[in-house]
Homo-oligomer: A and B are copies of this chain.
Amino acid sequence: MSIRIGILGYGNLGRGVELAVRAAHDMVLTAVFTRRDPATVKIQTEGVAVLSTDDVYNWTDKIDVMILCGGSATDLPEQTPKYAKLFNVVDSFDTHARIPEHFANVDAAAKDAGKVAVISCGWDPGMFSLARVYSNAILPDGNDYTFWGKGVSQGHSDAIRRIKGVKNAKQYTIPVESALEAVRSGKNPELTTRDKHTRECFVVLEEGADAAAVEKEIKEMPNYFADYDTTVHFISEEELLEKHSGMAHGGFVFRSGKTGVDKQHNHIIEYSLKLDSNPEFTTSVLVAVARAAYRMSSEGMTGCKTMLDIPPAYLSDKSGEELRAHLL
């Protein structure tokens, strides 16, 4: 029997989940729920119902796992505890600083309802978290390094767009190659914010705007740009849409740690991602985690979990025998 998946929220993440469920042989997409008028939402899968979020209450016995595809800023803090009372749920909550609070809220709701809720799935938090936890457990005496990019930072692009005179903008976060190499070589460097990443901005000005003033305001913006080497390019809106609409992203997680009688041996663990589509990779993770959530729920587990709590085999559609014979 296939695992019945529901999608709540149909933006980039919802569309990605839809495709990832299609690629999974043990799953079926049952329904998509939206806060918009369902009649205005066209999905990519024939024969699947598009419904209002008001209707979820009628679907509690028809969906095994609901994948929540809202944003972390305002949607998920409210949605995940709410829907964990009705369904096993998976979310991609990625505001690192607020994870403990989100976990507590979701845990209470899921335990109360006897459901499993897995939060903060994706690549960071998610696969990068796994890389950090495994490598810290193996090499307790060492240093962690996380680099992001090359990829668009939504938060930094938004910050530029709020500047007076800016019509549109995209900002790329780019890891500094020499810093990556210093870590890879086992030098265990101490790296400042400026050493690790550069920021490259593509900006479309409003007519008559002062380019020099905009560039200065970007480069001196505290937190966002002041601590980085930032490059600003002014381009046309056509060029922005044509060349900078991609959703590629990626990054690197390193652990550089020492062992030996005199700590004379250095070891480098490197985990890296190079993704053509940030949302499609993120949702590929969400769907694998939905499989695990279904299994955990079937075994009687309840409450809030993260990927750190899930045996890796639970994410796979292969049996233990198959995994041991072919992938171990």
- The residue among A127, A136, A312 with the most chain B CB atoms within 10 A of its own CB is A312
The CA-CA distance from A309 to B306 in the complex, in Å, is 16
Which residues of the partner chain B approach A272 to less than 8 Å between Cβ atoms?
268-270
Which residues of the partner chain B approach A100 to less than 8 Å between Cβ atoms?
321, 324-325
Find residues 124-173 in chain A having any chain B CB closer than 8 Å to their own CB: 125, 127, 129-134, 136-141
Q: Is A271 an interface residue (CB 8 A)?
A: yes
Which residues of the partner chain B approach A274 to less than 8 Å between Cβ atoms?
184, 186, 267-268, 270
Query: In the complex, what's the smallest C-beta–C-beta distance from A90 to chain B, in angstroms?
Result: 13
A315-B133 contact, Cβ under 8 Å, with A19-B261, A261-B19, A273-B269: yes
Query: In the complex, what's the smallest C-beta–C-beta distance from A84 to chain B, in angstroms?
Result: 17
Query: In the complex, what's the smallest C-beta–C-beta distance from A15 to chain B, in angstroms?
Result: 9
| Residue interface bits A242-281, CB-to-B below 8 A is 1, else 0 | 0000000000000000011100111111111111110011
Q: Is A12 an interface residue (CB 8 A)?
A: no
A308-B323 contact, Cβ under 8 Å, with A138-B288, A275-B267, A315-B133: yes
A260-B24 contact, Cβ under 8 Å, with A99-B324, A313-B309, A316-B137: no
Say whether A23 contacts B140, CB under 8 Å.
yes
Tier of interface size on chain A? 35 or more
Q: Is A241 an interface residue (CB 8 A)?
A: no
Q: Is A77 an interface residue (CB 8 A)?
A: no
Say whether B130 contacts A134, CB under 8 Å.
yes
The CA-CA distance from A25 to B264 in the complex, in Å, is 20
Copies held by the complex: 2
Say whether B320 contacts A309, CB under 8 Å.
yes
Q: Is A32 an interface residue (CB 8 A)?
A: no
Which residues of the partner chain B approach A186 to less than 8 Å between Cβ atoms?
274, 276
Which residues of the partner chain B approach A309 to less than 8 Å between Cβ atoms?
311-313, 320
Which residues of the partner chain B approach A268 to less than 8 Å between Cβ atoms?
272-275
Which residues of the partner chain B approach A284 to less than 8 Å between Cβ atoms?
138-139, 259, 267
Which residues of the partner chain B approach A327 to less than 8 Å between Cβ atoms?
129, 132-133, 136, 308
Q: Is A58 an interface residue (CB 8 A)?
A: no
Q: Is A103 an interface residue (CB 8 A)?
A: yes
Find residues 60-95 in chain A having any chain B CB closer than 8 Å to their own CB: none
Which residues of the partner chain B approach A267 to less than 8 Å between Cβ atoms?
273-277, 280-281, 284
Q: Is A213 an interface residue (CB 8 A)?
A: no
12 interchain pairs (CB within 8 A)?
A: A19-B260, A20-B259, A100-B325, A136-B316, A136-B327, A137-B312, A260-B277, A264-B276, A265-B275, A267-B284, A309-B313, A311-B311
Given A23-B140, A139-B284, A264-B276, 11 extra CB contacts under 8 A? A23-B141, A99-B325, A133-B316, A136-B327, A137-B315, A259-B284, A265-B277, A309-B312, A309-B313, A310-B312, A311-B311
